Each structure stands twice: as structure tokens, then as C-alpha cells.
Amino acid sequence: MTKAPILVVAGVLTDGDSILITQRFDSEGGLWEFPGGKVESGEREPDALARELWEELEIRVKVGVYLTETLHHYPTKSILLRSYRCEQLEGDITLHCHQAKAWVTQSELDDYLFSDADKPLVELLKRK
């Protein structure tokens, strides 16, 4: 039986020309992604994203425009990844759930290995 996809929200934070990306721990595959996480039952997506960015990075954000969504089937689960632009309002980034962060320009995105679900978003950001 096919399981329902897990709804995940991801935030695209920018500082000038740079975009924030975060790297999972090696024990979780070590791939790069956009910070965010699973939407809890009854939660609005922007609220979930703001909560996740607080939990993961200790920053308060304003969630902005919706960017895109990708339905990706991993071998053991399916993810519906929905991304939004975010503006940092408060806080200094402190990593709680990732091993590294990087601020990268559009052209540098190709230098990082992303989760498969993120590839359409990466392509979109390279064109923006």
C-alpha cells in the first residue's frame, strides 16, 4: 500500500545574493537541504516553518511568498516538500539539527549535494 506523503516545509533565507543551506549530520546522510521540517497535524504551513526555524536555528522569521512544491518518493517514504521565502527578523543562527551551514550564491548551489527532493527547488533558485 502506498503511504501518504509526509508534508515538509522548507525556508529559503537570503542575505544579499547569498542563500542559506544546511547540512544534515553524516549519520543522516550528510546531504544539504533548506532548513525546515514536518508540518504537524492542524498546523498552518507558515507557522510550521517559523516553528522549525526557531527549533533548528534559533531565529525568528517572517514567512514570505510560496516558491514551489515537489513530491518525491524515497525508497522508504514520500515527501511533499513545499518551500517559502523567509526573512530573518531576530536571532543569530545556532545549529541544533545540522552539522554545518553555508551561505551560497546561485552559481555555487551546484557545488553542494542536495537531497533528491530539493533538486527542483535548487533549479528554480538558480534561475531566479
Nearer to ligand 8GT, 16 or 19 (CB): 19
Least CB distance to ligand 8GT at residue 115 (A) = 4
Least CB distance to ligand 8GT at residue 27 (A) = 12
Footprint of ligand 8GT on this chain (CB under 6 A)? 8, 10, 33-38, 52, 79, 81, 115, 117-118
Q: Which residues pair with 19 in a beta bridge?
A: 14, 104
Nearer to ligand 8GT, 71 or 89 (CB): 71
